[in-house]
Structure 1
Amino acid sequence: MMKRKLHMWSHEDEEKLKAAILEQGLNWKYICKEVFPNVSPSGVKNMYYLLLKTDEGFKEQIQTYSYLKRKSKFNLLQKQVMQEEASESSQEFLMYHYLEF
């Protein structure tokens, strides 16, 4: 197995990592493949946790991003449930009128 060299993170690398995380989430393998091919997934993950500890602005961005992502998933599920309920009530209405005639 090929051992990777230790990656020295520059400020530009940190910014690229932040952008990749906000775009792709915590998909370490994807980020390594597409953004940092010479860094291991655990190296990217470790840098993420270091950024969370040292960069308060990034931590707030991640918390906001996570909140909005959860909220959008909840809203999507809520919308699907409402559509299913509307569909069921329409079917019941049609069935009721069909049986009347």
Structure 2
Amino acid sequence: MSSLSTHVLDAVHGAPAAGVTVTLFDWAGTELASGSTDADGRIGALAEVAAGDYRLRFDTGGYFTAQGVDAFYPEVTIAFAVTGERHYHVPLLLSPFAYSTYRGS
């Protein structure tokens, strides 16, 4: 099994994005885990996952609505593959009209 974590950064404020709800799904769409980012924008131990394909859904609309900011993306979904036993970290850099991600460490 592999561990999974995430980190959300608000590029507009140059700060962690606290309070973002993140949900993990398997490829069939079954919800496996859910959590909310802490004050540092992190969920350090979202789930343990086996090899396979997964999706992380970030409730970006809820995050920006809570800040009174109009945003284009109501959610961001990142599909990724777990291929071996290791730690998987999936960061999200977020703004109201753009986002980026990468395989973290």
Give the TM-score category using the shorter length: under 0.3
Task: Specify which structure has the bigger relative contact order, considering alpha-carbon pairs within 8 angstroms and separated by 6 or more residues.
Answer: 2
* Max Rg structure: 1
The structure with more helix, counted as a fraction of residues? 1
TM-score (normalizing by structure 2) = 0.20
TM-score (normalizing by structure 1) = 0.21
